Structure 1
Amino acid sequence: MTTLVVCLDRTDDVGRKTGLRSPIVGWEAVRALVTDVGLADPEDSGVNSLLEALRVAQSLRDDDEEVVVAVVSGDRESMVSADRAVARQLDDLIAKYDPESAVVVIDSAEDERLVPIVESRVRVDSVDRVVVRQARDIESTYYLLKQFLADEELRQTVLVPIGLTLLVFPMLATLVGPAEGAAAITTVIGLFLLYKGFSIGELFTGLARRTRESLYTGQVSVVTYVVAAGLTLVGLFVGGLGVSNLDDPSGVFLPAMQFAFDSVPWLAAAALTASAGRLLDEAIREEPIRNSYLNLPFIVVSVGLVVRGFSAYFLEQANLIDPIYVPAFEGGILTVESFVIGGGNRLAMFVVAGFLLSLVGVKVASTFSGTEPSRPESEPEREPELVDGSSESDSTRSP
């Protein structure tokens, strides 16, 4: 079994400092390369990376494994050409030595981007990341800052936003004032940090991917999501219209309750439509439907009933809506006089209805998607033995 221990250098620091062309293969060649790179630039972390590759190769040899140690570098023209150069060199090494696995040695995040290229050609058993320990003093801080400024990717990530901020702030301060300019810049920075912190870009990317897949596969949920979006807009419009019709919309609590009272039926219908479409997609797949999809429509209606009940209670106490009037009913031997449901009775009715509906949802979900747990495989039950050591079947067997 041959193992390839490969040290990756995407930006060709080795070739730039020593004038050698990669790949550099063999124990003696790599050991001589350590000396050349160390003499050219003793501060380069690539020296530690090369030494780590030799150490790993020696350790594998001590375990009686066949090892090939090599250094593979890219070029300095562009990242694409560098990756292609690494791919070509790896193909040559694999064709010549036919390794069964590889151990990758890297010393930076830039070199780590080459790991998928290696994985696409040979099985990677380990990725060894070399971290150089440094003294924490002023001199080391200076060199760290110098290395930071020399890194193009870090400069674009950190220095460019700071430079834009320093350029935009004087213009905003001149046009709208220092306080407004500082507020605008901090708002943009805050939104940017939230955008990165919550991975909103990835969420939008995933949403676009799921939407594209839904359109191509012809899922029913595409139509129901559009209907749900329309019902949501209607609910928001009806809620805003109800708030605007208040005689005295001062304060926050009562307008919020009026908005919830008017918009909750539409919003619940939107959520119910979206969940129904998702449930239909699961049913069309002819696979067992998960409990969450079956239970979601009941939960949506239950929450809508509870929110509607509480908002109606507060609005009724403020004399903004009337209690529920139930007219008299006469049918055969059953006669019901008219009555009014309001206040706490109205709230209790909505809460109990929501609670019962949620229980019905749990029961329906467990009935239609639940499966009896399979018994663990075990040895067949042994027949009880009699006193003399024979089994019960032996005692009943005819001679």
Structure 2
Amino acid sequence: MTTLVVCLDRTDDVGRKTGLRSPVVGWEAVRALVTDVGLADPEDSGVNTLLESLRVAQDLRDENEEVVVAVVSGDHESMVSADRAVAEQLDDLIADYDPDSAVVVTDSAEDERLIPIVESRVQVDSVDRVVVRQARDIESTYYLLKQFLADEELRQTILVPLGLTLLVFPLLATTVGPAEGAAAITTVIGLFLLYKGFNIDERLTRLARGTRESLYSGQVSVVTYVVAAGLTFVGLFVGALGVSGLEDTSGVVIPATRFAFDSVPWLAMAALTASAGRLLDEAIGDDPIRTSFLNLPFIVVAVGLVVRGFSAYFLEQQGQMEPFVVPANEFLIFSNERFVMGAGERLALFVVTAIVVSLVGAQIAASLSGSSDEDERNDGGSDGGPPDGATIDAADGESAAAAPDPGAVPDRSDPELTDGGADAAAGSDSPADRDR
């Protein structure tokens, strides 16, 4: 097995400093080249690359492998001519030594661009990049920046906001002041970081895709979602009006409770509208309606009742709401006088009603789901039965055809019926074969 240890020099630094033409092949020739390059430019990292090539070749020889060490240089005039020169030299080396594999030694990203040329001609087992120890941090930073700039998504995420910040800050500093400009820029950067951190862009993309698919498929839920959005805005507006009508109160508990009390009916109607649209889509579709969609409207009503009851209880305890009064002659039991329902009684009524609604919803969903499953089993049983006119043999499980109808007229176009079964008697030979 022959291994080619090749040192790549795309810009022909070796040739320009020593005056030698590449390729330089052989252990002694490369070792002499190290001295020439070191005397010409002791600070050149190419010296370390040549020494690394010799070290790799020596290690492979210690493992009883046949090694050919060579230095291949390009051209400093243009990159195209440099790559073609390297390709021509590699072809000559492969033709002379016929290596089975190659080990590539480089010292820069520029030289690593030649690796595909080597791989197109011989199998590359390893790539050894030489980094000078004194310049390790600088070299690593260079490769990190190079990889960073090659990623388009990172460029758009980091460089674009940074560039906009550097452009906008001087304008804001000269118009509104440095402090206000810095505050505005940090606010925008904070919003951008939250936008990327919560993956809002991906969520918006999925929402737009789902909306487009719903519009194209003609789903009813599209309309109900729009109506639900309108009801939601109405609920928020009504809740804000309720909060604005409060007297001066300290804290945020009472305003938040009032907002919930006034907006919950509208928000519950919005949720019911959206769930009704989704339920209609499930009913129109071919698949059976899932139990969760059947139970969702009842859950929405139950949650709305609970929130309404608790918010009314707290508001009545703080004197922000009058007790609930049942008028006279409304019910027979209170026909002579009004009945005043306290805060606790009202809360209990709402909670009990919510529990009853949720139980009724669960029962209805379970019954409808059970009936649909039973219909599917019945349909499957009728479809899976034996066909008309066929019986099932219990011994071997095979279905046998019933006896033919005596009054049925045979099909005269069938050749086996017209020739009296001659084909069956003669075996596999057809009448045409007998005629031949």
Fold agreement, TM-score > 0.5:
yes
Distance (Å, rounded) in 2 between the aligned partners of 1:199 and 1:352 = 41
Amino acid at match of 2:353: A
**Structure 1 CA distance, aligned partners of 2:122 and 2:200?**
43
Residues 352-372 of structure 1, C-alpha deviations (whole Å, 9 max, x = no match): 222332233333333323559
What is the identity, as a one-letter code, of the residue corresponding to 1:18? Answer: D
Q: Would you say 1:44 and 2:112 are equivalent positions?
A: yes
What is the CA–CA distance in structure 2 between the aligned matches of 1:303 and 1:46, rounded to whole Å?
A: 68
Q: Which residue number corresponds to residue 356 of structure 2?
A: 356
Structure showing greater Rg: 2
CA distance change for structure 1 residues 330 and 301 in 2, over 3 Å: closer, same or farther? closer
Q: Which residue of 2 aligns with 1:18?
A: 83
Q: Aligned-pair RMSD on alpha carbons? A: 4.2
Answer whether contact 2:101 2:122 (CA < 8 A) is retained.
Answer: no
CA distance in 2, matches of 1:167, 1:143: 26
Identity over the aligned pairs, expressed in percent?
60
Using CA pairs below 8 Å that are at least 6 residues apart, which structure has the higher relative contact order? Answer: 1
Distance 2:246 2:168 in 1: 44
Contact kept, 8 Å, 2:302 with 2:358, in 1: the verdict is: yes
Distance 1:146 1:321, change over 3 A: closer
The letter of the residue matching 1:191 is L
Work out whether 1:221 is the aligned partner of 2:221.
yes
Distance 2:123 2:163 in 1: 44
Q: Aligned-pair distance for 1:38?
A: 5.8
**Conserved 8 A contact 1:295-1:362:** yes
What corresponds to 1:144 in structure 2?
Answer: 143
Change (3 A) 1:300 1:52: farther
Deviations 1:53-102 (A, max 9, x none): 9879x9xxxxxxxxxxxxxxxxxxxxxxxxxxxxxxxxxxxxxxxxxxxx
Give the deviation of 1:203 after TM superposition: 2.0
The separation in 2 between residues aligned to 1:359 and 1:170, in whole angstroms, is: 64
Distance 1:366 1:210 in 2: 30
Hey, what does 1:182 align to over in structure 2?
A: 182
Q: Which residue of 1 aligns with 2:209?
A: 209
1:280 offset after TM fit, Å? 0.5
Q: Which runs of 5+ in 1 are unaligned?
A: 1-13, 22-27, 59-129, 375-399
CA shift in 2, pair 1:264/1:38, >3 Å:
same
**How many angstroms does 1:224 deviate by?**
1.2
C-alpha separation in 1, matches of 2:231 and 2:137: 63
Change (3 A) 1:142 1:251: closer
**Does residue 335 in structure 1 map to residue 333 in structure 2?**
yes
Q: 1:303 to 1:51 in 2, by over 3 A?
A: farther
Q: TM-score, normalised by structure 2?
A: 0.54
Counterpart in 2 of 1:84?
A: none
Partner AA of 1:298 in structure 2: F
Please give the secondary structure, in 2, of the residue aligned with 1:335.
helix
The corresponding residue for 2:245 is 245
Q: Does the 8 Å CA contact 2:106/2:130 hold for their aligned counterparts?
A: no
Residue 45 (structure 1) shift? 7.6
Counterpart CA distance in 2 for 1:356 and 1:133 is 77
- Cα drift, residue 235 of structure 1: 1.1
Aligned positions of 1:39-78 closer than 5 A = 44=112, 47=115
Q: Distance in 2 between matches of 1:361 and 1:283?
A: 17
* Cα 1:139/1:204, change in 2 over 3 Å: closer
Task: Return closer, same or farther for 1:288/1:181 CA change in 2, 3 Å cut-off.
Answer: same
Q: C-alpha separation between the residues in 2 aligned to 1:302 and 1:259?
A: 19
Which residue does 1:69 correspond to in 2?
none
- Matched letter for residue 193 of structure 1: L
Unaligned segments of structure 2, at least 5 residues: 1-78, 88-93, 378-436
Q: Which residue is 1:312 aligned to?
A: 312
SS at match of 2:112: coil
Any idea what SS the aligned residue of 1:246 has? coil
Q: Report the equivalent of 2:325.
A: 325
Task: Report the equivalent of 2:165.
Answer: 165
* SS of the residue 1:340 aligns to: strand
Work out the CA distance in 2 between the residues paired with 1:313 and 1:240.
Answer: 20
- Tell me how far 1:190 sits from its aligned partner: 1.7
Query: Match of 2:315, as an amino acid?
Result: L
State the Cα deviation string for residues 25-58 of structure 1 (Å, max 9, x = none). Answer: xxx89x89977996996752874997699879x9
How far apart in 2 are the matches of 1:295 and 1:323?
33
Amino acid at match of 2:142: Y
| Separation in structure 1 between the aligned mates of residue 312 and residue 81 of structure 2, nearest angstrom | 76
Cα 1:17–1:216 shift into 2, 3 Å: farther
